[in-house]
Structure 1
Amino acid sequence: MSTRSQGQSTPAGRPGSSRAGQQPYPAPGSSARPGGSRAGQSTYLSPRTIARDKWSRIFGGSAYLEAGPSNRLVLSIRSWVPAEVDFALDRFLQVSGQDPELLRFVELPGLLEGLVDLIRAFLDARVEDRSSSTFGLWVDQAKETTRRRACEAALVLRNLTTDKHNVGVVSKSKKIRPLIADVLEEGALEGGEDTNELRVYLLEVLEVIAEETPLALPGQQARSNKTGAIVPITEAPTSPAFRLFPLLVALTRSADRALVIASFRCLTALSLNDTSDAALALLTYESTEPLPKPLPHPIQTAIELLPIADADLGAVVLDYIYQHTLLPANAVLFCARPDLLQILRLVCTKLHLGAKKETIEVVLPLKGSEAEEWYKTQPPRHKRNIGLSQQRELSAKLEGDEISRLAALAEPARTLNWLRTVFEAAPDAEVTQVALWQAYRSEFEPLVALKITGALLPASDVIKMSSEAFVDALPMVIEQPEKRFVIRGMRIRDRTDMRTVYICRWSGCPAPLGPSSPSTLYWHLHHTHLAASPPPPKCAWSTCTYTSPQTSPSLLTADLTLHARTHIPSYHPPPGYGNPPEPHLDSQGAIPDPPITMQHERYHAQLDENLEVTGLGFLACLVLRNVARTVKVALGNPAGGASVNSLAQGEMSIFEAIEAASEGTEQKDGVVARLEKIDFAEAKSGAEALMGLENKLVRTTVEDHGLGKILGEVLEVVTVCRKAMANREKAEENEVPMEA
């Protein structure tokens, strides 16, 4: 007889033990490699086994995680002994937060019921307190302890629901959904703020089991998922199927951000259950008793939340709008909204949120070709490196002699003279700091590239120099109505007609074309207009509004003479700066032009672990695509593309279902029939909104390749809308009016 048969035994679940000695609940994670183990070969340890051994060392024993109805922690949590309950919750929180796969409800019978009982005890305590006269006046330690245990139990339940092995058990439980509905109702009552944490945890549980949670409206009929037949709802009026939807609608208007996000996530997940279509439909919400509720439908709340700059909130709102517009009735009503264009513009603001922006420079050898002439006519969204020979014909700011004079100056004299040449003092005018810096760069950056002049000053120094060039110029920040960085007290000098001759712009000048140089223009101003008797009280140059504070004629003339110099830039360089350096010439003796560069912006959308497009931009594109497909069907075109509802292969997409319903098959009664009889021709008004977004859609398609794959289908619908509108206008033009 062997040693084992004489009474020695090995632990259950280990190699060598007999089946008779094994426990009905094997230790989690214990397994061997296929083919059994041999002498000298190590046993394969699964990740669960490794995690279980780690926690056994932390807790000082393996009994706390052993499977079976006699688990130490399960018995503690169901004992109702305060110290034991806290002991068990503490360890369950630690394990479920890091390794939820170790705690499976099928291996730990009674754990789910124990967690539910702790939450239910908190609800019972609140009901009891509400019936007493001291409710809401004070909170003792016992009440707070009951609330804490309920929140910890809900957190453990939420953590364990994330494991796929526990989802089925929680979904089949008859206690979970009524518990969630009761907690949400309790939170809606007066003083329900202390249930916020509990509600957030249970809403996350509801989100996991939502696809198996049908919703219903009183007296409705629903279509069976399995047979497709219309069947009446047999749920009791107190069933969670009737209670959950109004409670979630109320939470979408909550002041608690976490509850708003959780409620929208639940509504999105609940819409995945086809039998809930009637409850989620906008038309039934507005017309079915006891609805409408005092709160608007969640789609209206979602639209109101679109402008908020919150990435998490924006993601759940866009996801809900996408799921909402997958239902044919909702898609049609959404496209028929009069404010659809404004809504879609808000959706488009999310396209590039979270994306990476890249600026690409493309060199175009356009010299001496027709393409160069075309390129010059394009809007100034591209940057040009302009050579000295091109400066005269492309820029109206400086002339050739001005460029040569300024290029020879050293900083800061170059910037100071440039400011006084290009700008002029104007007390009531302003120039943006960005425009000033860009003008400075456009003038001198090409010269620096050709080594004609020295390096540029920093932007901050150029802006500060404006106060030295003009005494009254002041860089400042304007907060209202929007934040702007400007320089008050100066404006761009009008030099349109000062390229070849210097025209006097004094109002009523008898000989405006007489001057031919800055000095003669200054002499003309002084003797013809300022030295008159009596002298003018204010400057009459073009639109200048300067009024002299002097009253004496002689002082008034002197003051206006000094002011007039701001309208006439000095063209004589100060002594001591020498001549400008000779530019580098090409083989023909001309100044070489650097190549023209174009700057393009390119966006890279967020990608998931499978390198597929994701993020806010992706959700925004899906919403736009739903609208486009609905409009396409409304215009009488067949719905193209695969199902947007991720249906099984062979089933119709929702837009194919819309088209089929429009043919008018059999007559049915009830809510489902109302959904199928929706007049989707109302969605034709959405075509105008799509056409209003055409430029934005084209630009996004070019700039973002990932989103362009989705928006390409939207642009195809826009093309269809354009053709339909052209055909309608042509038909109206050819229509012959009837005789009276």
Structure 2
Amino acid sequence: MSSHSVTPVITTDGETASPSLRTLPSTQLNITRDQTNGVTAKPVSGLQQTLGSLPIFNHLPVNSKIGVDDLTRMKMALLSGIDEEVKFALKRYLRYSVNASYVIKLNENLDLLPIIMPLITRCREYIPQLVGPISSQAFETLQKGSTTMLLLRNLAQDSENTAILATDNELKSFVLFVLQWANNFNSKDSAIYQSHASYFSELLIYTLDLMEAISSYIAPAKKDDLYFQNLCLIFRDTKDRYCVISILRSLSRLLVRSKSDQQSAADNLDDNLLNKIVHNLLVEEDEELIMASLDFLHQYTLPGSERIKTLLSHKERYDILVATLPILLTYRVPTPDYGSLSKTNIRLLQRVKPQPPAHAPELPMPLLKELFELNEPMRATSWLRCCFERSLNAEVTQILLWKTYEQTFSEQVKLTDRKLITAVDFIKNVSNALPGASALVVVDEATAKKKFVIRGIQPRRNALSIAEGNKDIDQSSPIQHETLDEVVNDNISSEAIQISLPDIAFPETLSDVSKASASFLSLVSNDTSEIVVQFIRDMKPLTLHQIADVPPLNKVLSEFIHSS
């Protein structure tokens, strides 16, 4: 069940504000008891300012005698019973409840609640009179009572204060009194006087806020629980969003700790009320309303399977839950943008094998000198291995191969007594230097002329050293190397480059609504009754699709996934 904190309400002049003006204070002030006595500390900045900078503190004249501390002054004002003093004290308490509520904690001011409760209980006499014009005295009494309820509502934001308020029978009796009169005013037989409707609505709001705060402390609600019954009656008729959410939270908390073997207030809920709660799931843009409704449904079905059957037995509720719960699993969770893929033009760019060089690579001078020092045919063999590589379908003309070799070493041969291998022996030596290469005579189809070529070799892009050239030949047998070349060549020519596709981002976290929806589904899936089994079967297709889009759902929906 989600937690809920109600925002303190007070206007700048100390009067009560309408529900639409509720705002959370932006700062929390640290104030000591001495500071409430008018003893101001040295000026500081930020949050550590003193009451001297607040509207609720009045600077005392210089050199004047300091009187009682502010809390005592406020308490004595309440006890005096003087109208202006009581109003002053209430306004001051309200400001403390907003800006420094810890100064007036109920467990540290044990006499505060007994002092202010009469201001509330006096309203009992005048609330029934709101069906018609009332005296100014009645109006003043009701206004003080409403302001006091606002004060208690603000103090109820602290759990320690709430625990004390929940044990005060006088306060709980008044809360029930207001709830009952809210239903009386909503009835056809007893309508509230039109000019007083807004005033009573404000009092009802503060009462509902207090009820929401103390409901967990008075749970579980019995079958004949008057708080639960009157909240349901108000919920049935109200169209106020704030009231609907607050009542749902109170009802949920009143069902906490319910047991399946004991009668509960939830057993009295009729189809109309359950339908209204389920209908709230259709309000897509109201997260608070959806969360309050899901929390109630979770608490309603928690104690046993009978309530699950009751919830699903109505076709309208069944259909809404089947349609909305899978959607709520991804409520405000960014799902993968598959649409970006459909908008992307997918193209495969063919990768073409680059053409081999037309000529043998130029030899570095050190390598050239090293090759020249070798005797024939070793020089020719090493030069071929350094400058050419085997390629199954490539070929080089015999005359070009020989002329290249001859031009590389002819100038140096003339200056020494070394000899150059003959052209015939050079051509014969090619197959020995590069196994798999063969001298062939081919006919040019275009010219019908014969052409003498060496097939199975092609120029390297960069010359290898003698050792590297020999190693390249020794690593495999001619047949194996040819087969490897064939495979490599085919792969290179068929390989393609794909353009970059948009990244698909999957969410890593869930929203509160998605967690609550998953929790409710897991709870329902534990039941094995026929209607629940059918409910799960109807939901699974869309639910599994949502799980595929939102991986974190796998963990929280494990029970649902493995259910029948």
TM range (shorter): 0.5 to 0.7
The superposition leaves residues 47-74 of structure 1 with CA deviations (integer Å, 9 ceiling, x where unpaired) of 999777876982447977666xxx2212
Q: In 2, are the aligned partners of 1:252 and 1:301 still within 8 Å (CA)?
A: no
Q: Which residue of 1 aligns with 2:153?
A: 158
Gaps of 5+ in 2: 1-29, 35-40, 61-65, 186-190, 351-490
Secondary structure of residue in 2 paired with 1:189 = helix
**Which structure has the larger Rg?**
2
Within 5 Å, give how 1:38-187 maps onto structure 2: 58-60=57-59, 71-127=72-128, 129=129, 135-136=131-132, 138=133, 141-187=136-182
- Alignment partner of 1:244 is 2:227: yes
What's the offset of the Cα at 1:117?
2.2
Identical columns (%): 18
What's the offset of the Cα at 1:273?
3.9
Secondary structure of residue in 2 paired with 1:175 = helix
Q: Which residue of 1 aligns with 2:212?
A: 207
The superposition leaves residues 398-418 of structure 1 with CA deviations (integer Å, 9 ceiling, x where unpaired) of xxxxxxxxxxxxxxxxxxxxx
Q: In 2, are the aligned partners of 1:48 and 1:101 still within 8 Å (CA)?
A: no
**Which of residues 544, 553, 559 is equivalent to 1:713?**
559
**Which of residues 243, 250, 265 is equivalent to 2:249?**
265
Q: In 2, are the aligned partners of 1:154 and 1:202 still within 8 Å (CA)?
A: yes
**Which of residues 310, 313, 327 is equivalent to 1:333?**
310
Within 5 Å, give how 1:437-476 maps onto structure 2: none
Q: In 2, are the aligned partners of 1:261 and 1:313 still within 8 Å (CA)?
A: yes
What's the offset of the Cα at 1:706?
3.3
What's the offset of the Cα at 1:341?
4.7
Change (3 A) 1:322 1:145: same
The superposition leaves residues 392-442 of structure 1 with CA deviations (integer Å, 9 ceiling, x where unpaired) of xxxxxxxxxxxxxxxxxxxxxxxxxxxxxxxxxxxxxxxxxxxxxxxxxxx
Gaps of 5+ in 1: 1-26, 32-41, 219-241, 287-294, 363-380, 391-586, 606-612, 635-682, 722-740
- Alignment partner of 1:317 is 2:293: yes
Taking the aligned partners of 1:361 and 1:589, their CA distance within structure 2 comes to 33
What's the offset of the Cα at 1:206?
2.0
What's the offset of the Cα at 1:266?
0.4
Secondary structure of residue in 2 paired with 1:58 = coil
Secondary structure of residue in 2 paired with 1:708 = helix
What's the offset of the Cα at 1:165?
2.7
Change (3 A) 1:620 1:78: farther
Q: Which residue of 2 aligns with 1:603?
A: 507
Taking the aligned partners of 1:57 and 1:117, their CA distance within structure 2 comes to 24
What's the offset of the Cα at 1:198?
1.6
What's the offset of the Cα at 1:343?
1.3
Q: In 1, are the aligned partners of 2:329 and 2:518 still within 8 Å (CA)?
A: yes
What's the offset of the Cα at 1:356?
4.0
- Alignment partner of 1:198 is 2:198: no
**Which of residues 332, 351, 354 is equivalent to 1:354?**
332
| 1:217 maps to amino acid | K
Q: In 2, are the aligned partners of 1:360 and 1:599 still within 8 Å (CA)?
A: no
- Alignment partner of 1:303 is 2:302: no
The superposition leaves residues 665-717 of structure 1 with CA deviations (integer Å, 9 ceiling, x where unpaired) of xxxxxxxxxxxxxxxxxx32211221222232223223223333212321111
Matched positions, count: 367
Taking the aligned partners of 1:185 and 1:250, their CA distance within structure 2 comes to 9
Change (3 A) 1:349 1:104: same
Change (3 A) 1:158 1:706: farther
Taking the aligned partners of 1:625 and 1:154, their CA distance within structure 2 comes to 40
Q: In 1, are the aligned partners of 2:524 and 2:532 still within 8 Å (CA)?
A: yes
**Which of residues 208, 216, 220 is equivalent to 2:222?**
216
Change (3 A) 1:623 1:156: same
Change (3 A) 1:188 1:355: same
Q: In 2, are the aligned partners of 1:267 and 1:320 still within 8 Å (CA)?
A: yes
- Alignment partner of 1:385 is 2:345: yes
Q: In 2, are the aligned partners of 1:264 and 1:316 still within 8 Å (CA)?
A: yes
What's the offset of the Cα at 1:157?
0.1
Change (3 A) 1:323 1:57: closer
Taking the aligned partners of 2:348 and 2:47, their CA distance within structure 1 comes to 74
Within 5 Å, give how 1:402-417 maps onto structure 2: none
Taking the aligned partners of 2:223 and 2:494, their CA distance within structure 1 comes to 83
Change (3 A) 1:348 1:590: closer
Secondary structure of residue in 1 paired with 2:216 = helix
Q: Which residue of 2 aligns with 1:345?
A: 323
Within 5 Å, give how 1:512-531 maps onto structure 2: none
Change (3 A) 1:159 1:715: same
| 2:214 maps to amino acid | I
- Structural RMSD (CA): 4.0
Secondary structure of residue in 1 paired with 2:552 = helix
What's the offset of the Cα at 1:252?
1.7
| 2:524 maps to amino acid | V
Q: In 2, are the aligned partners of 1:625 and 1:713 still within 8 Å (CA)?
A: yes
Taking the aligned partners of 2:525 and 2:252, their CA distance within structure 1 comes to 21
Change (3 A) 1:361 1:330: closer
What's the offset of the Cα at 1:77?
2.6
Change (3 A) 1:320 1:350: same
Change (3 A) 1:276 1:684: closer
Q: Which residue of 2 aligns with 1:460?
A: none
Change (3 A) 1:706 1:95: farther
Change (3 A) 1:144 1:704: farther
Secondary structure of residue in 2 paired with 1:75 = helix
Q: In 1, are the aligned partners of 2:332 and 2:511 still within 8 Å (CA)?
A: no
Within 5 Å, give how 1:28-43 maps onto structure 2: none
Taking the aligned partners of 1:628 and 1:63, their CA distance within structure 2 comes to 67
Change (3 A) 1:323 1:64: farther
**TM-score under structure 2 length normalisation:** 0.56
What's the offset of the Cα at 1:95?
0.8
The superposition leaves residues 7-56 of structure 1 with CA deviations (integer Å, 9 ceiling, x where unpaired) of xxxxxxxxxxxxxxxxxxxx99679xxxxxxxxxx9xxxx9997778769
Secondary structure of residue in 1 paired with 2:206 = helix
